[in-house]
Amino acid sequence: MKARVHVMLKNGVLDPQGEAVRHALGALGFEGVNGVRQGKVIELDLDDGATEADVTAMCEKLLANTVIESYSVEMS
């Protein structure tokens, strides 16, 4: 089974890369982009029977730094 983890900087933590992307979109003529936040997606290929709780533990211990990042888990 697979899990997909989305890791994003928390709201309130400045995302200078997202800001740079927003400026670049504006420079290309894309109007109306009010904010860009950039994160990452981590795909895990897991043994059958793995639970969302297992993946959450992985996020807490390693995949996300919860001081600055939030995460969400999708199991499929």
Partner 1 sequence: MRAAVVVFPGSNCDRDLAVAFKAAGAEVEMVWHKDSALPQGIDIVGIPGGFSYGDYLRCGAIAAQSPIVKSVREHADRGGYVMGICNGFQVLTETGMLPGALLRNAGLKYICKTVGLKVETSNSDFTNGYNAGDVIDIPIAHHDGNYFADSETIARLQGEDRVAFTYTDNPNGAIADIAGILSDNRRVLGMMPHPERAADAGHGGTDGQALFRALAGALTTA
Ranges within 6-35 binding partner 1 (CB under 8 A): 9, 13-14, 16-17, 20
> Rounded to 5 degrees, what angle do the CA atoms 18, 20, 42 make?
35
Q: Which is nearer to partner 1, 19 or 50 (CB)?
A: 19
Site string for partner 1, 48-67 (x = CB under 8 A): -------------xxx-x-x
Q: Which is nearer to partner 1, 1 or 13 (CB)?
A: 13
Cα dihedral: 36, 8, 40, 23 (round 10): 20
> Rounded to 5 degrees, what angle do the CA atoms 29, 40, 1 make?
130
Q: Which is nearer to partner 1, 14 or 31 (CB)?
A: 14
Distance CA 35, CA 52 (A): 30
Q: Which residues bind partner 1 (CB under 8 A)?
A: 9, 13-14, 16-17, 20, 61-63, 65, 67-68
